[in-house]
Amino acid sequence: MAKSPISITLDAENVRWLKGRARAVGARGVSELIDQLVTDARKQSPGGVMRSVVGTIDIDPSDPLLEGARAAVRDLFDASLGRPVLVKEPRAALRPAKARPRRG
């Protein structure tokens, strides 16, 4: 099968991991390793099998056409806004800036 060049952007940690993994498995390079990873992933779900969500959502039998869905979602949203939220910044963000030397 012919190969096509692509460009990807990864975090530095992921690049280091890929390079180390390529050496560990004896791949010729990162490109070969990524090709193997994608091939293996494709084999895990042959033909891009779609997973069904049937049975994961319960519809109220009294509202089968979801005519009350907008109001129900709005009520849930309003209730979530009413809950207190604790926001805590990391200590490093609270340190004062370093003083600049005075001129003159």
Examine residue 21 and state whether it is found in any structural domain, yes or no.
yes
pLDDT of res. 92 = 65
How many distinct structural domains can be found in the chain? 1
Domain range for 23 is: 12-46
Examine residue 65 and state whether it is found in any structural domain, yes or no.
no
Examine residue 77 and state whether it is found in any structural domain, yes or no.
no
pTM of this prediction exceeds 0.75: no
pLDDT of 7 higher than 60? yes
Rounded Cα–Cα distance for residues 102 and 96 (Å): 17
Specify whether the CB–CB gap between 33 and 22 falls below 8 A: yes
Examine residue 30 and state whether it is found in any structural domain, yes or no.
yes
Examine residue 33 and state whether it is found in any structural domain, yes or no.
yes
pLDDT of 24 higher than 70? yes
Examine residue 85 and state whether it is found in any structural domain, yes or no.
no
Examine residue 39 and state whether it is found in any structural domain, yes or no.
yes
pLDDT of 50 higher than 70? no
pLDDT of res. 53 = 73
Examine residue 72 and state whether it is found in any structural domain, yes or no.
no
